[in-house]
Amino acid sequence: MNLLKKLLTLFSVFILLFSNACFADDILIDELEDFEALETSNNITEEPETFSKNIIVIDRKTLSTLYGKKQNEKVAMASTTKIMTCILAIENASLNDIVTVSKKAASVSGSTLGLIYNMQISLNDLLYGLMLRSGNDCAVAVAEKISGSVENFSILMNKKAKELGLKNTNFVTPHGLDDPNHFTTAYDLAILTDYALKNNTFKTIVSCKNATISFNGAPRTISNTNELLGNLDGVYGVKTGFTFGAGRCLVSSCKRNNLDIIVVVLGADTKKIRTRDSYNLINYIYNTYNYVNISSTINNNFLDYLSYLESNYILDKTTTTPILKLQSLDNYEYPLKKEDISNLSTKIYTINKLSYNTPAGSKIGSLCLYNGDSLLCETDIILDNTLCKNSWKYYFKKILNNLN
C-alpha cells in the first residue's frame, strides 16, 4: 500500500511538472501526499523557528502585530483570494439567489467543485463550495453573478481593498490562480480576514468542517481543506491556498478565552511546513501573551507630565489656567508578554504656548505608549476649557505695577 502511494505521488508530481496544470488550492495534490507526524509543541514558550516565507500574527481586538516575518512583502496569494470573493458575495447578493453556471465557470482549471454548464445552484451552496472545497469554478460563478464578469468583479474587489486600506494588494481574479498583477501581503490579508470575520455569515461558512449542499438536484457532502479546523483547540477558520507561484498558504483564526488572533502563513514549500508554522505560532502566542490593562501606565505618566507643564507652558494674552485631558481610547487592554510590561514607556508631544484664541476642544499634542521600540497606541491631548482674553483692566493694572 505504501509503495502504491509513493508511485501515485511520483506520478502526480510528473503530471504537475510536465503539464500546464495550475491550482488555486491543495485538493488535487494533497490527497496523494503521505505526511510524517508533525513536529509541533503545545507547550512552546519561546518564539518558534518558522520556515514559511511571509507570516503575520495579529490580535483582532487591537490589530497589533504579535509576530511578523516579511509581512509587508508583496506576494502571490493563491486561494486565500477567495476570502475577498466570499465577503463581496455576501454583501452584494442574497444567499437564496439561484445562479446559472456559465461555460467559463464550468471550464475553469485547478481545484473545482465540478460545476456543470447550465446547472443551477444557490449562491449559498456556491459559497460553501468556494470556501470549503475551494472551487475555482465557484469563484467564477460568484464573480459573474455579482458583477457580470470576472473583469468587472476584480474592479469591485480592488474598490473594497481600497476602502479597507489594503495599500499593497491588487486583485485580478476571484480565485487566485497565478498572475503577476495579482498580489497581497501577509499584513493586508490579515486585515481583510479580520473584516470578513465580523460578518456572521462568512464566519459560519469558514468555520464549517463539513457541509451538505444541493448539487445538480442531489445532496453532496463536502469537507473543508483547512487542516487545522477541528484539529487544534480554538481554530474556527478560515482558508487554505496553493499555486506554484504562491506556495502553500494558510490563513487561520483562533480564539481561546478572550484572545482572538489571525495567523497568515504564505509561501511555505510544503503543506507540512505551513501546518507546523501555524500550529507552533498559535500555541506560542497563547502560552506567552495575556491582555494587560495599560490605563494606569498612561494616566500616571500623563499626571507626571501635567505637573511638569504647570511651570513650563507659556500663555499668550490670557491668564486662564489651561485644563488638559486625554482623549479616551477605544481599548485599554493589549496583548503583551509578561516581560514586556516593564518595557512600557510613554512619549508626550505638545505645544508649550497657548493663546486665548486656542478654542476649547483643540488638540494640542499626543501621548504615545511604546512597547520597547514598537508603538502600542496613541491618544490625543485636548484643551478642555476656554482661555479668556485678558481685559484692558489687566493691562492697566500691569502698567501701574510696573510704575511702582
Coil, helix or strand for 276?
Answer: helix
Q: Clarify whether 6 is annotated catalytic.
A: no
Query: Which of the residues 52, 102, 111, 134 is marked catalytic?
Result: 134
Q: Nearest-CA neighbor of 295 among 324, 330, 343, 347?
A: 330
Query: Which of the residues 82, 145, 160, 271 is marked catalytic?
Result: 82
Q: Clarify whether 41 is annotated catalytic.
A: no
d(CA 223, CA 36): 22
d(CA 168, CA 126): 29
d(CA 272, CA 282): 15
Q: Clarify whether 366 is annotated catalytic.
A: no
d(CA 40, CA 174): 34
Query: Which of the residues 79, 111, 154, 278 is marked catalytic?
Result: 79
Burial class from Cβ neighbours inside 10 Å (0-12, 13-18, 19+) for residue 291 reads middle
Residue partners of 172: CB distance under 8 A and separation at least 6 = 154, 179, 181, 182
Query: Are 135 and 174 within 8 A, CB to CB?
Result: no
d(CA 305, CA 346): 10
Supply the DSSP symbol for 180.
T
Sign of CA dihedral 67, 73, 78, 84: positive
List the grid coordinates of 208.
464549517
d(CA 327, CA 363): 9
Max CA-CA distance within the chain? 109
Q: What is the dihedral of CA 332, 186, 237, 90, to 10 degrees?
A: 90
Q: Nearest-CA neighbor of 369 among 294, 293, 290, 308?
A: 294
d(CA 291, CA 332): 9
Question: From the centroid of its chain, how far is CA 242?
Answer: 19
d(CA 164, CA 181): 19
Active site amino acids: 79, 82, 134
